[in-house]
Amino acid sequence: MITTLNQLRFDNRMVRELPADPETENYRRQVSGAVYSRVNPTLVKNPQLVAGAKEVAALLNLPESVFAQAEFAQVFGGNQLLDGMEPHACCYGGHQFGNWAGQLGDGRAINLGEVRNQQGDYWTLQLKGAGPTPYSRTADGLAVLRSSVREFLCSEAMFHLGVPTTRALSLVTTGEWVRRDMFYDGNPQLEPGAIVCRVAPSFTRFGNFEIFSARGEIDLLKQLADFTIRTDFPHLLDHKSAGIGVDTYLQWFNDICRTTAQLMAHWMRVGFVHGVMNTDNMSILGLTIDYGPYGWLEGYDPDWTPNTTDAQGRRYRYGTQPRVALWNLAQLANALYPLINAVEPLQQALENYRIEYERCAQRDMANKLGLSQFDPAQDQVLTENLLQVLQSAEIDMTIFYRKLASPLPADIHQYTDQQWVDIVRDAYYSAPNADAEMVMANWMRNYALRLQQDYVLNGNDDQQRRQRMNAVNPKYVLRNYLAQQAIDKAAQGDNSEVETLLQILRNPYAEQPEYEAYFAKRPEWARHKAGCSMLSCSS
């Protein structure tokens, strides 16, 4: 363990090994021939720590007490650089809402450097909202408290849910005001500025490769690919062989397809909707990255999107996420083609994505229902029917699966429709009528029959089933209205709700009876309130 920030050791591989933009002035521009541009964070008036994640500090070998050190807010508010930091912003492009958008880049993110911890792991530190960079285009490079609280809490919530994600070390307010037109209605408001320090093995996106391919900068494409394989995918390097070749690139792309499939299955399992699955928001490591207008399903609805900007096309709605990820992987395949020069093995990798996603989704569904395994012959229909029942009324996904883990009657004829529905009644947003009760009760009877068979075949019982289910069906998720309540308080200078949510979300699968109030449907007042159901990209 080290005790102060000055003891952090930086080993900035990206800066050292990859081509830098020779221009070091900070003005908006197209950057060619470089992977990144050097740029310093903008100084801020009065950086104050709102919250820190001790688990992330521990990744850097830092104790929790580091958050109390005066230096902390200065460094992670962007006012002070530590020895060894080499701030830079990366160049990337991307497909936004299905269209090639050209150069995007880290418009409001600045990598401070790569910490090499005592275990030999590398962690890149990145400030989000620390001022303009050459990639800021027409925007200001800043972030507001609202979106920063959401990013900070959700990053950590996802980690504790077991969903691959970038992490968040800290949340700092800057003491500055930032102008945002939250509703795109021509009425911008001043909001408190904030900066999150994100932490990940790397922040490389599909778009980092796409930009070089699109520009025909194949040498840069190869340099970045080789670097990424060496640093983020070292297990692909066979030390006996000559180095990185076509086979390595193919294995690499297969790896990306596999981890992306696993990520999609996780999102679907917990009811997370990213909201902006553009290729510049897809991590090469299969991490959840760029928390913007994301949301959590409340009433189960595959057509739901939290993003007002996407309300028309609903390209990034819950139910299409696995398909969109495949489309994004196909764009990455196109970008990597010049390194591979063969279509068939890339197509095969995309096919492998499909297979892996299906495998994970089936395994997850079996676990969500508490079955020993997914038996396609009967469980395909069982789950399709369930998803239909869940859609037929407004039924809270999180509450439904937790309640479904309750003990069931030994004899399925013992319960009336009403009694079956009682098991999951808390999940309904409005009282079901008799028809709706019958539909749910019939599904529950089929479910109970399937369980009986599983118990006989595999020696399971209700208690084991509950354990299996509660290990994959979270009790506590970061519902939008909960995040919004924490934001409203933090805006008044009261950080206690951010702390409380961080604490609850550390153990999302545990019962935590003292926090039972957070295991509740979205209240009616939050249904149409800004920030509590729909969100805009403006953050």
How many other C-beta atoms lie within 10 A of the C-beta of residue 211? Answer: 27
Nearer to ligand AMP (CB atom), residue 211 or residue 220: 211
Q: How far is the CB of 107 from Mg ion (least distance, A)?
A: 8
Q: Is 42 in the site for ligand AMP (CB under 6 A)?
A: no
Nearer to Mg ion (CB atom), residue 91 or residue 371: 91
Q: Is 538 in the site for Mg ion (CB under 5 A)?
A: no
How many angstroms separate the Cα of 323 from the Cα of each of 209, 273, 326, 452? 21, 13, 5, 34
Q: How far is the CB of 327 from ligand AMP (least distance, A)?
A: 16
Q: Is 108 in the site for ligand AMP (CB under 6 A)?
A: yes
Q: Is 195 in the site for ligand AMP (CB under 6 A)?
A: no
Stated length of the chain: 539
Residue 403 neighbours by CB under 8 Å, 6+ apart: 423, 424, 425, 426, 427
Say whether 461 is catalytic: no
User: How many residues form the binding site for ligand AMP (CB under 6 A)?
Assistant: 18
| Gap between the Cα atoms of 199 and 122, Å rounded | 10
User: How many residues form the binding site for Mg ion (CB under 5 A)?
Assistant: 2
State the DSSP string of 162-183.
T--B-EEEEEEEEEEEEEE-TT
Q: How far is the CB of 46 from ligand AMP (least distance, A)?
A: 20
Tell how far CA 268 is from the center of its chain.
12
Amino acid at 89: A
Among Mg ion, ligand AMP, none, residue 213 binds (CB under 5-8 Å by kind) = none
How many angstroms separate the Cα of 415 from the Cα of each of 113, 408, 424, 446? 61, 10, 14, 13
Q: Residues 261-300 vs Mg ion: string with x where CB under 5 A?
A: --------------------x--------x----------
| Gap between the Cα atoms of 91 and 36, Å rounded | 5
Residues 246-305 that bind ligand AMP (CB under 6 A): 276, 278, 280-281, 290, 292
| Gap between the Cα atoms of 503 and 68, Å rounded | 18
Alpha-helical segments (H) within 284-396:
321-340, 344-369, 376-392
* Contact assessment for residue 146 and residue 135, using Cβ atoms and an 8 Å cutoff: no
Among Mg ion, ligand AMP, none, residue 107 binds (CB under 5-8 Å by kind) = ligand AMP
Q: Is 107 in the site for ligand AMP (CB under 6 A)?
A: yes
Q: Is 417 in the site for Mg ion (CB under 5 A)?
A: no
Nearer to ligand AMP (CB atom), residue 193 or residue 201: 193
Q: Is 228 in the site for ligand AMP (CB under 6 A)?
A: no
Among ligand AMP, Mg ion, none, residue 370 binds (CB under 5-8 Å by kind) = none
Mind telling me the catalytic residues? 280
Q: Interface residues with Mg ion (CB under 5 A)?
A: 281, 290
